[in-house]
Structures are given as C-alpha cells and as structure tokens.
Amino acid sequence: MKIVYTVQALREEVKRAKKEGKSVGLVPTMGFLHEGHVSLMNAAREQTDFVVVSIFVNPTQFGPNEDLESYPRDFERDSRRCEDASVDIIFHPSVEEMYKGRYSTYVTCEGEITKVLCGASRPEHFKGVTSVVAKLFNMVAPNKAFFGQKDAQQVAVIEKMVRELDFDLEIVPCPIVREVDGLALSSRNTYLSDTERKEALVLSNALKHAEMRILDGERNAERIISEMRAIIESAPSAEIDYVEIVSAQTLESVKELSGDTLIAMAVKIGKPRLIDNLRIMI
C-alpha cells in the first residue's frame, strides 16, 4: 500500500495501474474509518483490481456552525485499517492541495433533491459534497465508486450528478453497517457520552418499528412518522431535525407508501447530529 499526498502522485499511481489493464475502484471518505468504511473497501476489493481510498475532511461540506474543527481524525489508525483491507493507495491531501489559490469552482445539484431532508438544515452541504466528489472522480477516473447507503441522500445526489454530468463510472451503494444493538456506524458516534450512546438506539428502533408496521400492512406515511417520532422523543436528549418518508429515487415526500421508499431521519443526541434510514421496496 502506498500513501500519496498530491494529485500528481495519485494520478501517476492510477495511470500505472490502468496501463496494466486494472480496473479502478474509489472509496471517498473523511477518515476515522469504521467497519462501515471497511465494508466499502471490501466491496471495492471484490469488484475492482486497484483500490483507492481518499481520506480528506472536506471543509466545503461543513456549514459555518458545524463540527469541521472537532471532526475526529486518526490517520495512523486509518492507514492500518486500509492496509488490513488490502487497499492499494491512500490519497490523503491537504486542504491547500485540494483548494488551491482563490478557489471558486463548484458542482451543484440545484433540484429539490439537495433541499429536502439534510439539505433543509444544511443548505451548502451537498454542494460541498458534489464538488469534492467531482474532483476526486476527475483525479482518479475510477470504473466504480463506493458509497455507504447510510448517507442515502448523498448517494441519490451523487447518482444524479453522475447521470447529469455524464461521468463515465458506476456508483455502488453499500448497505448500512450497524453495531449488534442496531446503532448505525458513524464517525460522529465517537462524540456520544455513555448515556447518549444508549439513547441513540431510538433511531434504529424507530426504523425497526416502521418496518414492522409496514410488514403489518400500514401504508399511511403520517401515521408511521408520528409513531416513529414518539419512539425517538422517548429519549431525553433526542432533538429531531426531521423524520420523513420519501420516494428513494427523487426524495419527494409521499403520503401513501408504495414502490421504492426511503424512511430517513436526522436526530441530535446531545451534541452530535446522527442520521439513519431504511430503504424498503413496497
């Protein structure tokens, strides 16, 4: 495994691999890697010949009052995890390497897809995501890029960007990885106190409840959401940002559940804002 810090060094490594006829898989991350990230690397390892993991805490996707400064970082541990997952290249650029000089070029999905759910309370977030991902796509030109389904809206937005800007690659969404008790893995779980860690289970519990109700035949979104909110609000430190049921493709909210459906939420548990979701075909 090699660690490279510049776009030029990255390009040289990727080009060498391509010359050898290897297909290239890209796993974009912000580091502080957990088993969710490892599952992406494993998928990349299985589906492509040469695996690039980028580790970059991207400032442009954080809002002014968000946790850019305190976002957890541990590059030593991250690089061991990548090594263990047989990654070929870690790309670990500085902010200056990514955003040189008077940087001002951004890729924006302007549709409703970036304004709902997390986009409502994080208005600039997806613009930062699509821009940095477009840059990584141009640097690596991967055959496939791997993203966690935990960030369901991110996957939908990036798939739209790939389709509309005609990137010649395939997005591979990978399933959410959870702790045994149900908590979705997230780098931000590290912020949770012991009490909050227990209370954070209301997110996955609310999703399990929704799934059960749907299996029972419930199709009314308002009723399901209201029951989910009650479960979440049973945790003293929970502060709901949103609980919504939307079409998984367009992210438009639905009244009666049918077809490819996404149940998504963002909830502050103490300091950290956690997200979780369930995608279900009805």
Q: CB 206 → a second copy: shortest distance, Å?
A: 31
4 binds a second copy (CB under 8 A): no
Please identify every residue annotated as catalytic.
37
Among 26-34, 76-84, 109-117, 260-268, which window interacts with a second copy (CB under 8 A)? 109-117
20 binds a second copy (CB under 8 A): no
196 neighbors 237 (Cβ within 8 angstroms): yes
Integer CA distances (angstroms), 4 to 59, 76, 149, 221, in order:
20, 14, 27, 48
Integer CA distances (angstroms), 47 to 12, 38, 41, 159, 172, in order:
22, 14, 10, 18, 10
19 binds a second copy (CB under 8 A): no
Helix or strand (DSSP H, E) at 91 = strand 89-91
**Separation between Cα atoms, residue 163 and residue 236, nearest integer Å:** 42
Please report, as residue ranges, which positions from 161 to 200 form the binding site for a second copy (by CB under 8 A).
Answer: 161, 163-168
Interface residue with a second copy, options 43, 44, 90, 109 (CB under 8 A): 109
Q: CB 111 → a second copy: shortest distance, Å?
A: 4
Q: CB 229 → a second copy: shortest distance, Å?
A: 30
Interface residue with a second copy, options 1, 3, 11, 237 (CB under 8 A): 11
- The binding track of 132-161 with respect to a second copy, each residue x by CB under 8 A or -, is --xx--xx-x------------------xx
Nearer CB in complex with a second copy: 12/239:
12
Q: Which of 138, 189, 134 is nearest to 157 (CA)?
A: 134
Name the pairing type of β-strands 50-55 and 24-29. parallel
Q: What type of residue sits at position 34?
A: H
Backbone angles phi, psi at 154, to 5 degrees: -60, -45
Q: CB 145 → a second copy: shortest distance, Å?
A: 14
73 three-state secondary structure: coil
Give the binding site for a second copy (CB under 8 A): 7, 11, 99-100, 102-111, 113, 130-131, 134-135, 138-139, 141, 160-161, 163-168
